[in-house]
Structure 1
Amino acid sequence: MDTRRLYSFVRVVDAGSITRAADLMHIAQPALSQQMTALEAQFGQRLLSRSKQGVEPTEAGRELYRHARTILRQLEQAHADVEVVGRELAGGVTVGLAPYSTVNALALPLLSVVRARHPRVLLRIDEIGGVLSEALMTGRMDMALLYGRGPIRGVDFEPLLSEDLVLVGPPDLLPTTGQEGELAVSDLVEVPLLLPGPSHTIRQVVEDALTGASAAANVVAEVETLTLATRAVRAGLGATILPESVAERVVRRGNLIRRRLTPALTVHVSLGTASGQTLSRPAEAVRALLHEVLDGYLRRTLPLGGEALPLGEDGHP
């Protein structure tokens, strides 16, 4: 197997076009097309479906793409491991973060400790709105902090923490029914909500709860990033629903209030890795540091018998 063909195949799939991939790789388009034809002949399968709009992988192509990403990452790491035998760790590690998640507060502390202890490890932190489990299975990420506790085929889940969701918004937009500081889930129908898209766990938890109350969420906009959602809420465009410790940081930085929901809506955060794939030495080191940072975060934000303490955006009180 010529790994250069696998690399070219991955670039073609990512680009969605042989012509675009050829431009990005600075090679002639006919030469790249010839590589793809040779790869299909080698596997005896049609790997790419071609149209005027570009190319997309067939079912066999998607399977090869998944393996190719893994093979190329392992090859990259093999070069790094051999190069630094007897020396400090080196290589790239990608960590995914679920949008709107509590664990986004871990990003800067994790980056800081990795830089301090393993300066030759290139840490990539990616907050994406796509399917993190798919990114793990295709090898685009080494690990991800994601919502849920599984099961998802192809992903191993390590539960990390659970947290209740709260409503955050301007005082004039939040109903005052119920006990002070609390709001019945059924009363959310009165609130214009800014939430992530239907595939996001927070959105699903909210909508499932309202469906159980024979109601529907009043979603006025779908916003995939916490930064934009926070700005929109501060501008009075609606309210949003966040994990409690995230809400603490948002509320103390603007003229906003929060309301606990009854019955409580809870989300779970886990560390996800691809099933059956061994992490590289740098990735193992990053995972260990991630646990260290998380333990410190939980000690600061969830003291025994107390309410979550607000953190700054740098992850510190």
Structure 2
Amino acid sequence: MNLRRLKYFVKIVDIGSLTQAADVLHIAQPALSQQLATLEGELKQQLLVRTKRGVTPTEAGNILYAHAQTILRQCEQAHSAVNSAGLALNGQVSVGMAPGTAASLLALPLLQAVRSQHPGILLYLNENFGSELTDQTVNGRMDMAVLYGNKAIPGLSFVPLIKEDLYLVATHAVPHPGNYVELADVAKLNLFLPRTHDVLRKLVDEAMALRRLSAKVIGEIESATTLTAAIASGLGATILPESAARAIVGPANAWMSCISSPTIQAPLSLCLSDHLPLSQPAQAVQKILLALVAENREEVRTLLAVG
């Protein structure tokens, strides 16, 4: 294998068409097909399946695609590091953030600090759900991510940031219990929660199990927009970390109440790959992010408290 063939292969998979990929790469389609055939011959595996609609990767092709992205990314980082030796840092750095997290309060300060300290760094912020962000961080498509959770996941390491209490969120179709609501009362309500693999769902399920309770889940939602609409409709309630709860109560015309007996806390962490080294620009962004969290920890808590 060589880098050129890997680049060709990744581009073909991204576009889903040999013809269109050849146009983008500015090479003849027969030549591109020959490069693909050579790559398949080297690996002794069929990598793509040709259909009337284009091409799709085989199982072996998907595996190579993930590795190729990592290899190409590391080569780009090496090239950038060598070229920028002794010079100002430059290059793209990607930071994922789970929707509605307290870290989103630091997104603008992060952009401002990176722009001020390292104007050559292009910061890419991606707001997505935890499972998607962890997958992208493992395979090297995301440099780092701020999300809920701190339990061991193969290929990842976690740096603790802050902890947030979980809150019940509902409209006035559900009687408002006051500032606090017991978990046993939460278990009686119709709930919209994420799917069972989600960190927040696991926290809720574990707390329920310890009290010999079970959540009455009437819908599994992993879209902030859809969840807001579902809560606003009065069909059910949801459980969210404090920052996410405060973000939804206004648009949904809802109330929020801290869950007690027991209190459930969601750890917010900085997620990193444990096997892919960060580029120099990514290290600089990580340093700024951790400094912002340390400097603004009390400010973040104050912002949460006032809403």
Query: Matched residue of 1:160: which SS?
Result: strand
CA distance in 1, matches of 2:50, 2:10: 18
- The answer to whether the 8 Å contact 1:249/1:310 transfers is no
State the partner residue of 1:298.
297
AA at the equivalent of 1:36: L
CA distance in 2, matches of 1:239, 1:29: 55
CA distance in 1, matches of 2:113, 2:251: 26
State the partner residue of 1:315.
none
Query: Matched residue of 1:279: which SS?
Result: coil
Q: CA deviation at 1:78?
A: 3.0
State the partner residue of 1:243.
241
> Per-residue displacement from partner, 1:142-195 (whole Å, max 9, x unpaired)?
11112221311111222222222111222332453xxx4222223224434343
- The answer to whether the 8 Å contact 1:96/1:143 transfers is yes
- The answer to whether the 8 Å contact 1:189/1:218 transfers is no
Return 234-243 or 86-95, whichever deviates more. Answer: 234-243
In structure 2, the CA distance between the partners of 1:229 and 1:27, relative to structure 1 (3 Å rule), is farther
In structure 2, the CA distance between the partners of 1:111 and 1:232, relative to structure 1 (3 Å rule), is farther
Query: Matched residue of 2:292: which SS?
Result: helix
How is 1:180-259 mapped onto 2 (pairs within 5 angstroms)?
180-212=178-210, 213-220=212-219, 222-225=221-224, 227-230=225-228, 232-234=230-232, 236=234, 238-251=236-249, 255-259=253-257
State the partner residue of 1:102.
102
> Per-residue displacement from partner, 1:264-294 (whole Å, max 9, x unpaired)?
2222222222222221110000000110121
Matched, 1:269 2:265: no
How is 1:12-23 mapped onto 2 (pairs within 5 angstroms)?
12-18=12-18, 21-22=21-22
CA distance in 2, matches of 1:172, 1:125: 36
In structure 2, the CA distance between the partners of 1:264 and 1:17, relative to structure 1 (3 Å rule), is farther
State the partner residue of 1:314.
none
CA distance in 2, matches of 1:224, 1:206: 18
How is 1:18-167 mapped onto 2 (pairs within 5 angstroms)?
18=18, 21-22=21-22, 25=25, 27-42=27-42, 44-46=43-45, 48-50=47-49, 52=51, 54-59=55-60, 61-129=61-129, 130-167=131-168
**Kindly, what percent of the aligned residue pairs are identical?**
39
Q: CA deviation at 1:22?
A: 4.4
Q: Name the TM-score, length of structure 2 as normaliser.
A: 0.84
Q: CA deviation at 1:309?
A: 2.8
- The answer to whether the 8 Å contact 1:147/1:268 transfers is yes
In structure 2, the CA distance between the partners of 1:18 and 1:219, relative to structure 1 (3 Å rule), is farther
- Structure 2: 5+ residue stretches without partners: none
- The answer to whether the 8 Å contact 1:194/1:229 transfers is yes
AA at the equivalent of 1:64: L
Q: CA deviation at 1:23?
A: 5.7
> Per-residue displacement from partner, 1:225-252 (whole Å, max 9, x unpaired)?
3x55345535645433221233345447
In structure 2, the CA distance between the partners of 1:50 and 1:132, relative to structure 1 (3 Å rule), is same
State the partner residue of 2:171.
170
Query: Matched residue of 1:268: which SS?
Result: strand
CA distance in 1, matches of 2:44, 2:7: 18
In structure 2, the CA distance between the partners of 1:261 and 1:278, relative to structure 1 (3 Å rule), is same
- The answer to whether the 8 Å contact 2:99/2:244 transfers is no
AA at the equivalent of 1:13: V
State the partner residue of 2:285.
286
AA at the equivalent of 2:197: S
Q: Name the TM-score, length of structure 1 as normaliser.
A: 0.81
Q: CA deviation at 1:27?
A: 4.7
Return 140-149 or 211-220, whichever deviates more. Answer: 211-220
> Per-residue displacement from partner, 1:16-39 (whole Å, max 9, x unpaired)?
554564465455544333222211
